[in-house]
């Protein structure tokens, strides 16, 4: 088993999640402490700007380089603080870091029924861009670093996301199935696990991303804490109906999203003209409807839903989901998992899979042509 620290900075741009986990990439051993190190407001603002600029950025851009240095430094701080906690609580060290980096652009190849692998000659190349300086992080911490988890999959015609499903499956080994694990981050993604262990996973649609943007723009808040805005408003039926016609919902998996993919559709549907409360209620309702649309792609209905990610803390979101999904919808804590640290833990497990050259992606998760290893490794473990 390797002693890993997984590091995830998700599409919400709220900060770095770090988690210590012992794993060989297939089995999970001891689970150690976790922490979240928020980005300073200025870094958060600059990273959000980077998302808007990403399409036209050159790799050598000075603003990009400066953001990368600051975000890598924040990751190094997270590692240092977590190692101290691990030492205090467990007298344990760390062998390997799983460094996801910050996604600033995600343009997967257009998904096709049956997967993107078919007809390689007609393939439209995709692009996914996670920024972060793995070399600097390795030097700064003295540890091996697994990184660049998505590009091998995209190069092989896969979506490059989601990656966490293989870890959901490892965690869910003893749970009743079919089961759906729903992550509500900036974007939503779902993993369906069949009774025989079959995996189907894809991004559902927007989750907290547009809601955070809306809370900031309409009410000057970082996010809609405890769903206060949404719970005080009414979803607008006409706006919702226009949004529900978005082709992403009916498109069969594999499929994945960029954080900004729905921004234009939201604007065109008139979401921006609603009151702060009704706008929030409409965005929440739409996120839930996207999940219900996702469930129509499952081979069998799930017996139950487990929800992780920050969206599970939003009562308006949980209520909207319960209203449109069949079967109980509960936070992953009911299964003994940590819904805040799950993605960070997953990147520890995925780092061990990189080190062992085990597959990260599968035909049922990203549309990879076959179970595909990925990621890169540097540092003493090489």
Ligand X SMILES: Nc1ncnc2c1ncn2[C@@H]1O[C@H](COP(=O)(O)OP(=O)(O)OP(=O)(O)O)[C@@H](O)[C@H]1O
Ligand Y SMILES: CC(=O)N[C@H]1[C@@H]2OC[C@@H](O2)[C@@H](O)[C@@H]1O[C@H](C)C(=O)O
How far does the chain reach from its first CA to its final CA, in angstroms? 16
Per CB under 6 A, does 366 bind ligand Y?
no
Contacts with ligand X in 175-234 (CB under 6 A)?
A: 183, 185-187, 208, 211-212, 223-227
Q: Which of 11, 34, 282, 314 binds ligand Y (CB under 6 A)?
A: 11
Q: Which of 5, 111, 187, 308 binds ligand Y (CB under 6 A)?
A: 187
Of the candidate spans 68-76, 88-96, 156-164, 171-179, the one that interacts with ligand Y by CB under 6 A turns out to be 156-164
Which x/- pattern over 214-243 shows residues binding ligand Y (rule: CB under 6 A)?
------------------------------
Of the candidate spans 44-52, 77-85, 185-193, 244-252, the one that interacts with ligand Y by CB under 6 A turns out to be 185-193
Helices 62-90 and 134-141 cross at an angle (nearest 10°) of: 40
Per CB under 6 A, does 344 bind ligand Y?
no
User: β-pairing, 304-308 with 329-331?
Assistant: parallel
Per CB under 6 A, does 310 bind ligand X?
yes
Cβ-based nearer residue to ligand Y, 105 or 274: 105
Which x/- pattern over 89-128 shows residues binding ligand Y (rule: CB under 6 A)?
--------------x--x---------------------x
Question: Which DSSP string do the residues of 138-171 spell out, in sequence order?
Answer: HHHHTSEEEE--SHHHHHTTS-----THHHHHHH
163 interface partner picked from ligand X, ligand Y, none, CB below 5 to 8 A per type: ligand Y
Q: SS3 for 306?
A: strand
Is 12 flagged in the annotation as binding? yes
Cβ-based nearer residue to ligand Y, 3 or 106: 106
Neighbouring residues of 22: CB distance < 8 A, sequence distance ≥ 6: 1, 2, 3, 4, 28, 29, 30, 31, 32
Please tell me the count of residues contacting ligand X according to CB under 6 A: 22
Please tell me the count of residues contacting ligand Y according to CB under 6 A: 16
Is 196 flagged in the annotation as binding? no
Burial of 303 (0-12, 13-18, 19+ CB in 10 A): middle
Q: How many CB atoms neighbour CB 225 within 10 A?
A: 11
Is 10 flagged in the annotation as binding? yes
Is 13 flagged in the annotation as binding? yes
We find the least distance from the C-beta atom of residue 91 to ligand X, in angstroms, to be 30
Per CB under 6 A, does 310 bind ligand Y?
no
Q: What is the arrangement of strands in the sheet containing 179-184, beginning at the earlier edge strand?
A: 199-206, 187-193, 179-184, 304-308, 329-331
Q: Which of 4, 256, 314, 345 binds ligand Y (CB under 6 A)?
A: 256
> How far, in Å, CA of 4 to CA of 32, rounded?
10
Strand partners, 202: 190
256 interface partner picked from ligand Y, ligand X, none, CB below 5 to 8 A per type: ligand Y
Tell me whether the omega of the peptide bond preceding residue 162 falls within 30 degrees of 0, making it cis: yes
Per CB under 6 A, does 185 bind ligand Y?
yes
Q: SS3 for 53?
A: helix
User: β-pairing, 28-38 with 15-23?
Assistant: antiparallel
Question: Which DSSP string do the residues of 223-279 spell out, in sequence order?
Answer: S-GGGHHHHTS---HHHHHHHHT-HHHHSPSS----TTTTHHHHHHTTGGGS-HHHH
Residues of this chain that bind ligand Y (CB under 6 A): 10-11, 103, 106, 128, 161-164, 185-187, 189, 203, 256, 343
Residues of this chain that bind ligand X (CB under 6 A): 10-12, 14, 183, 185-187, 208, 211-212, 223-227, 309-311, 313-314, 343
């Amino acid at each position: 088993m390797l002693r890993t620290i997984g590091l995830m900075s998700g599409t919400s741009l709220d900060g770095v999640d770090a988690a210590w986990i012992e794993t060989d990439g297939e089995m999970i051993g001891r689970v150690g402490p976790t922490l979240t190190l928020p980005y300073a407001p200025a870094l958060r603002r600059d990273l959000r700007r980077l998302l808007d600029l990403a399409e036209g950025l050159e790799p050598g851009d000075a603003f990009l380089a400066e953001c990368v240095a600051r975000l890598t430094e924040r990751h190094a701080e997270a590692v240092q603080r977590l190692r101290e906690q691990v030492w205090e609580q467990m007298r344990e060290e760390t062998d390997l870091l799983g460094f996801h980096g910050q996604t600033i652009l995600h343009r997967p190849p257009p998904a096709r029924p049956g997967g993107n692998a078919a007809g390689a000659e007609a393939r439209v190349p995709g692009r996914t861009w996670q920024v972060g300086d793995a070399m600097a992080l390795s030097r700064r911490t003295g540890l091996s670093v697994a990184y660049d988890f998505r590009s091998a999959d995209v190069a092989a015609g896969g979506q490059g996301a989601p990656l966490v499903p293989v870890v959901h499956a490892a965690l869910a080994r003893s749970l009743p199935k079919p089961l759906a694990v729903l992550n509500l981050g900036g974007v939503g993604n779902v993993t369906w696990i069949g009774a025989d262990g079959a995996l189907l996973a894809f991004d559902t649609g927007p989750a907290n991303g547009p809601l955070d943007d809306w809370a900031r723009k309409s009410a000057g808040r970082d996010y809609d804490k405890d769903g206060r805005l949404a719970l005080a408003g009414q979803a607008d039926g006409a706006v919702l109906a226009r949004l529900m016609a978005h082709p992403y919902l009916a498109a069969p998996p594999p499929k994945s999203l960029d954080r900004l993919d729905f921004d234009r559709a939201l604007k065109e549907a008139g979401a921006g003209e609603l009151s702060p409360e009704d706008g929030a209620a409409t965005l929440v309702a739409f996120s839930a409807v996207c999940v219900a649309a996702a469930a129509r792609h499952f081979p069998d209905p799930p017996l139950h839903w487990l929800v992780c990610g920050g969206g599970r803390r939003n009562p308006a979101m949980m209520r909207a989901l319960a209203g449109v999904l069949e079967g109980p919808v509960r936070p992953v804590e009911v299964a003994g998992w940590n819904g805040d640290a799950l993605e960070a833990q997953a990147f520890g497990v995925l780092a061990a899979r990189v080190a062992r050259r085990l597959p990260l992606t599968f035909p049922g998760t990203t549309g990879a042509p076959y179970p595909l290893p990925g990621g890169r490794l540097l540092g003493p473990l090489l």
